[in-house]
Amino acid sequence: MKILVLNGGSSSQKSCLYEITGEALPEEPSQPLWEAKVDWSHHQGMAEIEVKTSTGQRLQEEIPAGSRPEIIAHMLDTLWHGSTQVISHLSEIDAVGHRVVHGGKDYRESVVITEDVKGAIARLADLAPAHNPINLEGIEAIEQHLGNISQVAVFDTAFHAHLPDAAAIYPGPYEWVEQGIQRYGFHGISHQYCAQRVAHLLNRDLASLRIITCHLGNGCSLAAIKDGHSIETTMGFTPLDGLMMGSRSGAVDPSILIYLLRQPGYSADKLDNILNRGSGLSGISGISNDMRQIQAAKNQGHSRAQLAWDIYVHRLRYYIGAMLASLEGLDILVFTAGVGENAPDIRAAACEAFAFLGLQLDPEKNIHKPVDVDIATPNSTVRVLVIHTEEDWAIAQETWRLLKK
């Protein structure tokens, strides 16, 4: 089965084509036949497209940054035309899997997309205005270019759909519960993939493990996983809660917002912009949302970069502590995504606080670009793994499972 995966961001669009043959899913993550990424965050009016194939073909060019459906059409063209061609016609694609950020209360697992599902994704845009409309545009673009093909929505909230009430419900008025104002949690596709992957790598039964997964990318969140289910997570009603992130604040005292709204010149939109785009590493350092640049500036003695790094680590430790309490213990700590996979200093600083548990990192293993390996010492009481998250592969697997049923 050839499965196309679509993963849209605010100014980017990623897509991969996987082929799954045989009657069972492979144990190791498959490499895509083709992968494409379009990014239009840097240049006004222009976008950069990068395409790679499993046979080593590469394409990199600038294209006009049109609408998302136009950009998707351009990406799809590279699947069956030119040097990156991997199929002879788009009709060879059997199904399309989409990452959909918010499934709300209605969608607690992946679903085959129907008109009703599209309606629900559109309605849930109230809860995820920066994400769900993008996901819907992707679904409609596929209808436009591939006609009546089977499409599956894989939700970032689904893995957290069974949080206990005590973790999911905010201690506001009870009406909030009735209005759907509660903790949903995000990055679920990645947290679930990492939990399953560590259980497989360590040859352990997922149901017997207490795991904390740290997804540290541009967006950052933790999940506490017990019996294979997420029982606590740091993101909340929206992806703004919890840890300090690249340009998002994470949790702040809500009274700060009330205070600012009462000052001249502040509006809800301005606060939205400050909290989502002008905070976090970028807001504190004044340099960048990118951890690499923060590390470089900190090493040159830049005091605000040092402060940004310190707050990031402080918050990470603080929330690992919270997850630990919910799990009542810990077997495995996982680091994943851009920072989690590539920043040994962040991993070491986070782990140092938990030495009292008997958690011990092997400094050599930590420093040497670990991928899907255990970086704890043999006698550490907690295994620590760096896992390369494979959200697109997880979406392809879900799509396959659902359509095979």
Binding region for ligand ADP (CB under 6 A): 217-219, 246, 289-292, 337-339, 342-343
| 106 catalytically annotated | no
Distance, in Å, from the CA atom of 268 to the CA atom of 280, rounded to the nearest integer, reads 19
Smaller CB distance to ligand ADP: residue 95 or 395? 395
Q: To the nearest 10°, report the CA torsion of 350, 356, 359, 360.
A: 80
Smaller CB distance to ligand ADP: residue 160 or 210? 160
Contact criterion met (CB below 8 Å) for 70 and 86? no
**Structural tokens at position 303:** 């005091």
CB of 1 to ligand ADP, least distance (A): 26
Distance, in Å, from the CA atom of 391 to the CA atom of 156, rounded to the nearest integer, reads 10
Residue among 98, 123, 124 at smallest CA distance from 111? 98
- Give 280's contacts (C-beta < 8 A, 6+ positions apart): 244, 245, 246, 247, 248, 249, 250, 289, 308
The torsion angles phi and psi of 317, rounded to 5 degrees, stand at -65, -45
CB of 85 to ligand ADP, least distance (A): 27
Strand pairing category for 220-226 and 150-155: unpaired
CB of 219 to ligand ADP, least distance (A): 5
- Give 333's contacts (C-beta < 8 A, 6+ positions apart): 211, 212, 214, 320, 351, 354, 359, 382, 383, 384, 385
* Residues 142-171: b if buried by 16+ CB within 10 A, e if exposed: beebbeebbbbbbbbbbbbbebeeebbeee
Contact criterion met (CB below 8 Å) for 294 and 308? yes
Smaller CB distance to ligand ADP: residue 228 or 278? 278
Smaller CB distance to ligand ADP: residue 334 or 339? 339
Q: Which residue's C-beta sits nearest to ligand ADP?
A: 338
Smaller CB distance to ligand ADP: residue 31 or 381? 31
Given the residues 39, 94, 106, 156, select the one marked as catalytic: 156
Smaller CB distance to ligand ADP: residue 184 or 324? 184
Supply the residues annotated as catalytic.
Answer: 156
